[in-house]
Amino acid sequence: MNQPIQTPDYVIVGAGSAGCALAYRLTEAGHRVTMIEFGGSDRSIFIQMPGALSYPMNMSKFDWGFKTLPEEHLGGRQLVTPRGKVLGGSSSINGMVFVRGNPKDFDFWEESGADGWGYKDVLPYFKRMETWHGGASDWRGTNGPLHVTRGTRRNPLFNTFIEAGKQAGWPYTPDYNGENQEGFGPMEATIWKGRRWSAASAYLRPALKTGRLTVIRGFARRILFQDKRAYAVEIERKGVIETISAGREIILSASSINTPKILMLSGIGPADHLRQHGIEPLADRPGVGSNLQDHLEIYMQYKALKPVTLYTYYNLLGKGRVGVEWLLQKTGLGASNQFESCGFIRSSDQVDYPDIQYHFLPLAVRYDGKSAVRGHGFQAHVGPMRSKSRGTVRLTSKNPMDTPEIHFNYMSHPDDWKEFRACVRLTRQIFDQPAFAEYRGDEIQPGPGVESDEQIDAFIREHAESAFHPCGTARMGAADDPDAVVDPELRVIGVEGLRVADSSIFPRITNGNLNSPSIMTGEKAADHILGRVRANHEGGLAAE
């Protein structure tokens, strides 16, 4: 006799960074959870080996394959917008860099209407989520699911970059995720025992072991409502339309691209836009799909005078040796993402806190790994942190299978150009320091002929690339804010039984890579759903 299928307490759409954390905490609390994920297994050498990071984001098996509209301020170029289509979401295809963000980022969130999301409120969740392997610190967690480690920095160029930053007048920061972000120091990564430690490894697998989590592979089409209460998710699985009901609530954790798409397909969004596509508005929320933000960056590249870079291994034989060592021992170059030193600085003394980030790499290569400079070289990825440009995600039709229209409107604010010029000039100052004298050859790009504002702007227009940090498309704010999409409890304003927990909710982009604050969002969302935030606020969250 068949047992009746029990309705789960919660349905989560998306097995990404926030969704996995949320599933773990809800099942830990004894609830039954169903998770809907279109992507498949993350058990691939291209995902699990940190050194192979350039591959999965270029594989249709693991990436949604989104592209922007032609960006008018970048010469009409279409930029790729990778998002993870796999267990672990973008934490399974990203660069594994771990940056919480600056404390002032979260204080800004609170000041802009996200009550209870200031730094003092989110710090306990950052601590709860991590096991930090950097020693004792009041700022760090030591018992969380997410392992955070540092590379060995055996390549001399990593410490040379840090030393050059100090010589240029910036402080050394021993832990940019701790007391002080500003300065140069070691970079942190979600790597453990030589493997990528994604949200799937940290949260999803432990949640599955409880027996209270079910993962369904299906394509989420829309949320179904009875009056204004969400009760089920309509999915397509193997060509069949099904509904997955929730006993209590539905949570969208589908990414800053797919979450607003699903909201709009469900009747939640700008009413005029929905009607244009034949969708009857259920809740007129103009903020859905608006406020889209990202980090842009350029690669400042130099030839190396000594053969100390990764170019030694940038051939078939070298890659083979790296791969074999990783397969046999989980050690060597394959066990690192090769982002082992970094910097956070201010573009001018008038800026309140760091607004420029550096990733240093001991190889002159594109981020996607498709082309490397012939010969030894090194580079810094550099870009402004708080662009004032804002874009949109919009529907192209009412057909859920159709890709949404993505328009970041990059570089549309004049301040973006001023900040990027500062990036170029400050980076040159850093590489011109004595620390680099024995290694620094000619500047490859932008190149010695690129000096004036006009020349730098032309280089940016042609060469700026996304750092793949989209966010902000379902902004969190006060419940009476007409442009907010979710309130500080992450409840979608205007309906019931539906929340959002992913980088869509960020009022403003944070300093640095977004994986860490996305996971924090899932952690904190769980406590909001479980009714624990008020108690934590009064009694103090035991985050250690």
> Domain containing 440 — which CATH number?
3.30.410.40
Q: Which two tokens stand for residue 271?
A: 């009413």
Q: Is 434 exposed, middle or buried (0-12, 13-18, 19+ CB in 10 A)?
A: exposed
Domain assignment of residue 358, yes or no: yes
CA distance 318 to 364: 16
Return left, alpha or beta for 291; rule: phi > 0 is left, psi -120 to 50 is alpha, else beta. Answer: left
Strands (E), 287-404: 296-304, 341-345, 356-361, 377-384, 392-394
Domain count, the chain: 1
Residue 373 in marked binding region: no
CA distance 495 to 82: 30
CB 341 within 8 A of CB 185: yes
Residue 97 in marked binding region: yes
User: Residue 365: what pLDDT?
Assistant: 87
Domain assignment of residue 420, yes or no: yes
Which ranges of 39-150 would DSSP assign to H, the alpha helix? 45-48, 103-111, 119-129
DSSP-derived pairing of the beta strands 66-67 and 80-81? antiparallel
Other residues' Cβ atoms within 10 Å of the Cβ of residue 463: 15
CA distance 473 to 261: 10
DSSP 29-69: TT--EEEEESSB----HHHHSGGGTTTGGG-TTTB--EEPP
Other residues' Cβ atoms within 10 Å of the Cβ of residue 15: 30
Q: Which helix (H) or strand (E) holds 149?
A: strand 146-150
Digitized pLDDT (tens) for each residue of the chain, 544 residues in all: 344 458 999 999 999 999 999 999 999 999 999 999 999 999 999 999 999 999 999 999 999 999 999 999 999 999 999 999 999 999 999 999 999 999 999 999 999 999 999 999 999 999 999 999 998 899 999 999 999 999 999 999 999 999 999 999 999 999 999 999 999 999 999 999 999 999 999 999 999 999 999 999 999 999 999 999 999 999 999 999 999 999 999 999 999 999 999 999 999 999 999 999 999 999 999 999 999 999 999 999 999 999 999 999 989 999 999 999 999 999 999 999 999 999 999 999 999 999 999 999 999 987 666 666 789 999 999 999 999 999 999 999 999 999 999 999 999 999 999 999 999 999 999 999 999 999 999 999 999 999 999 999 999 999 999 999 999 999 999 999 999 999 999 999 999 999 999 999 999 999 999 999 999 999 999 999 999 986 555 444 543 3
Residue 486 in marked binding region: no
Domain assignment of residue 224, yes or no: no
Residues 411, 414, 416, CA angle at the centre, nearest 5°? 50
Domain assignment of residue 27, yes or no: no
Backbone angles phi, psi at 243, to 5 degrees: -120, 135
CA distance 515 to 91: 7
| Whole-structure pTM value | 0.96
Residue 86 in marked binding region: yes
Q: How far is CA 114 from CA 108, 245, 294, 391, 479, in A?
A: 9, 29, 20, 21, 9
Nearest CA-CA partner of 338 in 288, 391, 380: 380
User: Residue 536: what pLDDT?
Assistant: 52
Domain that holds residue 445: 152-186+296-384+412-463
Nearest CA-CA partner of 411 in 465, 363, 368: 465
User: Residue 154: what pLDDT?
Assistant: 96
Domain assignment of residue 497, yes or no: no
| Catalytic residue flag (residue 359) | no
3-state helix, strand, coil in the chain (%, to 5): 30, 25, 45
Backbone angles phi, psi at 127, to 5 degrees: -70, -40
Q: Which of 295, 381, 469, 528 is catalytic?
A: 469
Domain assignment of residue 130, yes or no: no
CA distance 472 to 293: 6
CA distance 531 to 521: 15
Nearest CA-CA partner of 259 in 528, 505, 20, 515: 505
Q: How far is CA 140 from CA 177, 467, 506, 515, 526, in A?
A: 8, 26, 22, 17, 20
Q: Report DSSP state, residue 74.
A: G
CB 470 within 8 A of CB 293: yes
| Helices and strands (H, E) in the chain, number of each type | 14, 26
Orientation of helix 17-28 relative to helix 515-529, angle to 10°: 30
Residue 223 pairs in a beta bridge with 233
CA distance 190 to 323: 19
Residue 94 in marked binding region: yes
Domain assignment of residue 537, yes or no: no
Domain assignment of residue 322, yes or no: yes
Orientation of helix 515-529 relative to helix 119-129, angle to 10°: 100
